[in-house]
Amino acid sequence: MPDTAALVSEATPSVKDALALGLTAPEYELICELHGRAPNVLELAMYSLMWSEHCAYKHSRKLLRTLPTEGEHVVVGPGENAGAVDVGGGLACAFKVESHNHPSAVEPFQGAATGVGGILRDIFALGARPIAVLDSLRFGEPSSARTRYLLDGAVSGIAHYGNSIGVPTVGGEVYFEEPYEHNCLINVMALGLAPAERLVSSAAAGAGNALVLFGASTGRDGIGGASVLASAELGEEEGDGAGKRPTVQVGDPFEEKKLLECSLELLARELLLSLQDLGAAGLTSSTSEMASKGGVGIDLDISAVPLREADMEPFEIMVSESQERMLCVVAPENVEEVLECCEKWEVGGAVIGSVTGGSLIRVRRDGDLLGELPVRALVDECPLYDLEPAPPSAPLYAPARATLAGSCTPREALLALLASPNLCSRRPLFERYDAIVQGRTLRRPEAADAAVLRLPDGGALAASIDCNGRRVAADPYTGTVAAVLECAANLACAGAQPLGTTNNLNFGNPEKAHIAWQLTEAVRGLGDACRALYAPIVGGNVSLYNEGAGGPIYPTPVIGMVGRLPDARRAGRLGFARAGDRIALVGPFAPSLAASELSKLRGEPLPDRLPSIDLEAVIAAQAAVREGVRTGTLASAHDVAEGGLAVALAECCLAGAIGAEVELEGGEEELFGEGAGGFIVSGAADALDQLALRVRVRPLGTVGGEAFTVSTADGRTLLSAGLAELSGAHATLAALFA
């Protein structure tokens, strides 16, 4: 229990103040009980952040405990700054995905830029050098001026930070749907490599050891930023960010580059006992979480914290979310060397406190005791809430505005799908990113279904990030299973075996029964799919309250997955490669128009459920395709996703700059229906015959020519379009944002 005798006198805040900071009245009462008295202003500010949804996961933690987190390849599981898996050769791959949704809805450039900076710090806080970034973005329909503003700002912010710091952006996805109009999603995934034995924990340890803060100085930018914005709904009047911009952090990628190199040198010289980045809730979260993990106390002297503005209040220093800062624990005899290294890299370094043998966080300034908080109360004893899930009694989402007539021909439907915002080429976006810096990139965006990065031992890493929120909205369980399988399918097309999974659960207000149902069902699907794939969850993020006056976003459990392939030279491609190669459909593909992209273009409402998925059969098909790619018997492989079979075939033609002639029955569902487990592959006839011994294979046709043609068995042409026409339709995003 804190000792109040030495505390500097300060007015005691009221329940009203607690409510204004986002706490509930019962939570404030519990804080007073656990704290042993009413907290003062500084202490209440610290509690309000650590007990926020963003930091405490109080509506999702119980669900997350049901997920699989252990596996053969897991080196670091949930609980650290990032997870890590063994990728061979003594190396571990650290990876994680996080969101910066609410800040980006307020100020898209800095919101997205600092989202990149934050996830990169999570990677090198574990001791790994960042090697790649992937992004998963959601916006309203592109006809909206707000969407175009947010998209341009977010993409520019991602490019600015990633390009400047020298980390390639190697893949990602973007969807445009009306429910994201006022709540855009900016999810960023990062990967890093490190010798497995050099990974470091964030747990503070050793009474008497010094606490060193290094990096940028602390300012008022970001006060009440991610931790507050991400713990409440944006009101309709706040959708344009009015009055919220001061809460958005401001990033400096050049400062972070120095911070990265300094951190990795300190770790290589074995000068640090633990390392933690300062993200949401700033010094409050970093110190208290380090203390909680280590079972120790921490004494802080905020008069030693380097400040940008000399008149900052104590609570501002403790909750500032200024970027590019790290906190480390150092043995006293190594402090001088640590500070010399900070000086070498031109990052500010200062001893701001020490580890104690107690169980309290003490905050002092010039010797005066300003706050004293029990670590357990601050970090571990925030109440966790049971959700009260119930399916919605009426449709939550209005149908999209129809842009395609129901009577269109197959050719018209194909061209409309290729030109649709969710399926057209992302080249105008990803060309802003440097995808090849560091020299590891083997497959650039649109060359393969997954990003592929070279490893030192001759193997390669593959990474994918994916989710179709509209399909999850139709059926949260099956839609989430499909999202996990889509990531694994992307890896299979590259020739990679899944090693581990990360996730970012983006949902509306979990206090509402129908949102709680979406979240519960999605987590159940996530767990079942990851268990079936032996791809455990090693870390992730939860972003709730993504809704406002217009309603909730589509439930969007973004999945990130990392895999390994043994021979980088055999990394798969999606484009058809050789004239004369045979084309086949592989796997248990059962197409359905339910919640498909075609149904959206026709303005059809979402169904109540999706067709069930045979997990075992889909995973067997993935294994067969993966083996075909690894052995080189398949010249190309591409999974069937949005837009169905016809779109997948057209994408293979476009990526390979070569045509194809295929034979189909011609039903609309066969051409444009969607579902898990289908792959378009090409190769020699005997290779496909061998594949058919392992899995279902349906011959479709032959690669060649300068057009994509679909005919029936009786010779009737269903559709035919030249490569130039397909490419022109596929390139519509450039015109939309010209």
Task: State the maximum Cα–Cα separation within the chain, in Å, rounded to a whole number.
Answer: 92
Q: Which residues sit opposite 498 in a β-bridge?
A: 563
- Hey, is 130 helix, strand or coil? strand
* 139: helix, strand or coil: strand
Cβ neighbourhood burial of 722 (10 Å; 0-12, 13-18, 19+): middle
CA–CA dist 421, 276 (Å, integer):
40
Alpha-carbon distance of 489 to 625, in angstroms, equals 9
**Do 13 and 44 contact (CB within 8 A), yes or no?**
yes
Element (H, E) at 314: helix 314-319
Residue 480: is it exposed, middle or buried by C-beta count within 10 angstroms (0-12/13-18/19+)?
buried
Q: What is the pLDDT at residue 513?
A: 97
CA 406 to chain centre: 36
Report the distance separating Cα 102 and Cα 506, nearest Å: 11
Can you read off the two tokens belonging to residue 247? 């809460």
What the block records as the tokens of 464 is 């994918």
Residue the block writes with tokens 């400096």: 252
Tokens for 450, please give them.
Answer: 């997954």
d(CA 115, CA 134): 12
Summarised one tens digit per residue, pLDDT across range 554-609 is: 999 999 999 999 999 999 999 999 999 999 999 999 999 999 999 999 999 999 99
Answer yes or no: are the C-beta atoms of 186 and 99 closer than 8 Å.
yes
* Cα–Cα distance list, 216 to 324, 348, 460 (Å): 6, 6, 35
Using the structure block, give the residue that is written with the tokens 């590891």: 440
The residue type of 395 is P
Integer Cα distance of 63 and 490 in angstroms? 27
The DSSP letter of residue 379 is: I
The tokens for 1 are 């229990």
Q: Are 25 and 510 in contact (CB under 8 A)?
A: no
- Distance separating alpha carbons of residues 386 and 58, to the nearest angstrom: 9
What tokens appear for 637 in the block? 């492989």
- DSSP E strand boundaries for 595-686: 634-639, 660-663, 679-683
pLDDT at res. 238: 44
Name the residues annotated as catalytic: 54, 100
DSSP string, 416-485: HHHHSTTTS--HHHHTTS--STTS-EEE-BTTBSSEEEE-TTS-EEEEEEE--HHHHHH-HHHHHHHHHH
Other CB atoms within 10 A of residue 254 CB: 11
Structural contact between residues 117 and 323, judged by C-beta atoms closer than 8 angstroms: yes
86 contact partners, CB below 8 Å, separation of at least 6: 73, 74, 75, 92, 196, 499
The whole-angstrom separation of Cα 93 and Cα 85 is 5
Report the alpha-carbon distance of residue 625 to residue 642 in Å, rounded: 19
What is residue 79's DSSP assignment?
T
Minimal CA–CA distance to 177: which of 395, 421, 394, 515?
421
Q: Which H/E stretch holds residue 193?
A: strand 185-195
Q: Are 75 and 251 in contact (CB under 8 A)?
A: no
DSSP H helical ranges for 126-175? 145-165
Residue in the structure block whose two tokens are 């995934």: 189
Cβ(421)–Cβ(151) under 8 Å? no
630: closest CA among 738, 521, 496, 518?
Answer: 496
* DSSP strand pairing (297-301 vs 360-365): parallel
Q: Which residues of the chain have pLDDT under 70?
A: 1-11, 224-247, 736-738
- Domains in the chain with CATH codes: 573-738 (3.90.650.10)
Query: Are 640 and 674 within 8 A, CB to CB?
Result: yes
Of 580, 584, 583, 574, the closest CA to residue 705 belongs to: 580
